[in-house]
Structure 1
Amino acid sequence: MHRIAVLALEQSVAFDLGSSTHMFARLGDLYEVVVCSPDRRPIPTSGGFTIAPEHGLEALQDADTVLVPGTYYKPAREGWLEPAVLEALTTTRAPRIMSICTGAFVLAAAGLLDGRPATTHWGTTEEFRALYPKVRLNPDVLFIDDGDILTSAGVAAGIDLCLHVIRSDHGSEVANWIARYCVVPAWRQGGQSQFVDRPVPSYPDTSTALAREWALERLQEPLDLAGMAAQVRMSVRTFTRRFRAETGMSPGQWLTQQRVERARHLLESTELPVDQVARHAGFGTGAALRQQLAASIGVSPTAYRQTFRTA
């Protein structure tokens, strides 16, 4: 049982606190989730209600993962932490520490992000850099996995980070299941843009969604831009522009992402040889699958299957 200690501090972002605890707790046979606060004190949230954690900061000491949700906690937004919070974060033996949104301010105030890459909500970039210049801040991504320290951008990007952690721990089939349960996208790449100041498209009655559905049913077949654009009766140029506006990536990048996910699922849930997995996922050859999987997650198909084999 993997124990996750969620550190709630004053004015925790209600969405971050609720969504992260819900996702992990829903997998109750895999994760134990505890919420803690300094001296188990009640914590007012940004949602206008107060929570009453059952645990104190000692919960951080025997946790496998420490999670800090987004927060408007005043000390961290001024460059310091309460001594008890600072000690708890810097002495925890947890092999993984993660933050959502402005929870990165707390990790930075503890010195845990010095010299390391991190992200937070794009709207706090200037404030964060002024307070914590030693952090290699990248405000243009959804999340950053730096091994034992993981940070994410605002609100919904915390869901992406939680899914990434679940996928890393237990494979894409489990992550996809919890994503379906929560009715959220199963995977958005960590390097994807936060969509800063993206204007609302001026074509509300048209979408490339039908083309994406069509492509998902035919991932094993050769697919091209013209074929996808034809499904929604658009020119290739218009289709490409609208596709990027809706998904944040090009049609080619999206297809590769979906095919990698299909391959991961097949590697976990079937005994198909690698070459057959490659064909079913639309990569054609085992060599192409090996190249794409290595580029996406850094391992070979065989190593992935050995790590995330289902019963």
Structure 2
Amino acid sequence: MHSVAVLAFEGISPFHLSVPSLVFGRVGAGRAPGRAYDVRVCAEQPGTLGTPAGFDIHVGHGLSAFETADTIVIPSWIRGAGISPELRTALCGAHARGARIVGLCLGAWAIAASGLADGREITTHWHSADELARAYPAIRVRADALWSDLGDIITSAGVAAALDCCLHLVRHDLGSRAATDLARALVTAPHRSGSQAQYIPVAVPDAADDDPVEHAMVWARTHLGDPIDLDRWAGVALMSRRTFTRRFRDRTGTSPQQWLLSQRADRARLLLETTDDTMDRIAAETGFGTAVSLRHHFHRILGTSPAAHRALFRRAAVA
């Protein structure tokens, strides 16, 4: 069972604390008896912690939980605050033995203060990004992503993006079907484009507007197996090719072509995990055309081959 240690602290938001507990605590995925994750909430000083929600919480575990955790989650932090020497030692020790360190929202502050992200990129809430970058100039801070995954260090933007990030980790650990089933139970989007070691662009449409780019994105997802010409795609949004490309990049942070390749790769990933279809058939159904093209783009986007990915989740299904 994958062990997850979630760090609580005095003044933590109960909502932020509940996100990793809710996501990892609910995943059984049907891949093995019982739960897939063992979740433990811990604190530097176990005991009663106050919250801004009008009630206190009791935490029974200390930082010793870091010593055996496969994943450590810091769900938010005190903006502008550093970390204690004890917490730094515990984080760096866990990271050195191979634990995955996750900072949700302002949790990026704690990761930055640990020194583990020096010379690298992390994500945090847009409202805090400039301040974090000034405080830790050795780190490149991104405010244009919902989450970023460096393999060993994962960080997310604020509030709802923590759900995206945690679902991404479930998808990485257990596959698309497990993440999709859980997202359906939570009544949230299962996946907003992206995968390990790449960034997810902000992809939330303007409130209550009939967003033509969103309409075109939905259309593309239902036609992944068809050739999608950029002019035809722009026509779905009732825009010129040039306007559509500009509006799409403004809307998602990436080009229409790159977004489409990510969608096709994600659809191929689901088919590899849930069907016995041949590579040629999956390539045709996802718009890659040939197995050679499928292998090329799948490896470029997801960092592994389609055959290796299928074998990994087939082994997990019978474990």
Same fold, TM exceeding 0.5?
Answer: yes
CA drift of 1:100 comes to 0.9
Q: Counterparts of 1:65 and 1:214 in 2: how far apart (Å)?
A: 37
CA drift of 1:192 comes to 3.6
Q: Counterparts of 2:180 and 2:104 in 1: how far apart (Å)?
A: 20
Q: Counterparts of 1:130 and 1:226 in 2: how far apart (Å)?
A: 43
1:52 matched to 2:58? The reply is yes
Q: Deviations over 1:166-223 (max 9, x none)?
A: 222122222222223222241333424458xx9958x934534444333333221212
Task: Tell whether the 8 Å contact from 1:16 to 1:155 is kept in structure 2 after alignment.
Answer: yes
Task: List alignment gaps of at least 5 residues for structure 1.
Answer: none
* Residue among 167, 170, 175 paired with 2:174: 170
CA drift of 1:268 comes to 1.0
Match of 1:69 in 2: 75
Match of 2:118 in 1: 114
Q: How does 1:12-23 map to 2 (within 5 A)?
A: 12-23=12-23
Q: Which residue identity lines up with residue 42 of structure 1 in the other structure?
A: T
CA drift of 1:99 comes to 0.8
1:288 matched to 2:288? The reply is no
Q: How does 1:200-279 map to 2 (within 5 A)?
A: 204-231=209-236, 233-237=238-242, 239-279=244-284
Task: Tell whether the 8 Å contact from 1:10 to 1:71 is kept in structure 2 after alignment.
Answer: no
Match of 1:90 in 2: 92
Q: Counterparts of 1:262 and 1:230 in 2: how far apart (Å)?
A: 24
CA drift of 1:116 comes to 3.3
Match of 2:153 in 1: 149
CA drift of 1:257 comes to 1.9
Task: Tell whether the 8 Å contact from 1:62 to 1:94 is kept in structure 2 after alignment.
Answer: no
Mean Cα displacement is larger for which, 158-167 or 98-107?
A: 158-167
Q: Deviations over 1:102-152 (max 9, x none)?
A: 112112222322333322223223332333233343343333322222222
Mean Cα displacement is larger for which, 99-108 or 134-143?
A: 134-143
Identical amino acids, percent of aligned pairs:
42
**Number of aligned residues:** 304
Q: Counterparts of 1:204 and 1:45 in 2: how far apart (Å)?
A: 36
Q: Which residue identity lines up with residue 96 of structure 1 in the other structure?
A: R
Match of 1:6 in 2: 6
Closer/same/farther in 2, CA of residues 240 and 86 from structure 1, 3 Å limit: closer
* Local SS of the residue matching 2:45: helix
Mean Cα displacement is larger for which, 225-234 or 184-193?
A: 225-234
* Residue among 92, 99, 104 paired with 1:100: 104
Match of 2:144 in 1: 140
Mean Cα displacement is larger for which, 297-306 or 218-227?
A: 218-227
1:35 matched to 2:37? The reply is no
Q: Counterparts of 1:260 and 1:297 in 2: how far apart (Å)?
A: 8
CA drift of 1:229 comes to 4.3
Task: List alignment gaps of at least 5 residues for structure 2.
Answer: 29-34
Task: Tell whether the 8 Å contact from 1:78 to 1:131 is kept in structure 2 after alignment.
Answer: no
* Local SS of the residue matching 1:150: strand
* Local SS of the residue matching 1:308: helix
Q: Counterparts of 1:227 and 1:49 in 2: how far apart (Å)?
A: 55
Q: Deviations over 1:73-116 (max 9, x none)?
A: 6xxx243x234433332333452111112112112222322333
Closer/same/farther in 2, CA of residues 61 and 33 from structure 1, 3 Å limit: same
1:125 matched to 2:129? The reply is yes
CA drift of 1:291 comes to 1.4
Q: Counterparts of 2:202 and 2:16 in 1: how far apart (Å)?
A: 16
Mean Cα displacement is larger for which, 234-243 or 168-177?
A: 234-243
CA drift of 1:285 comes to 0.4
* Residue among 167, 188, 199 paired with 1:191: 199
Task: Tell whether the 8 Å contact from 1:61 to 1:94 is kept in structure 2 after alignment.
Answer: no
Q: RMSD value over aligned CA atoms?
A: 2.9
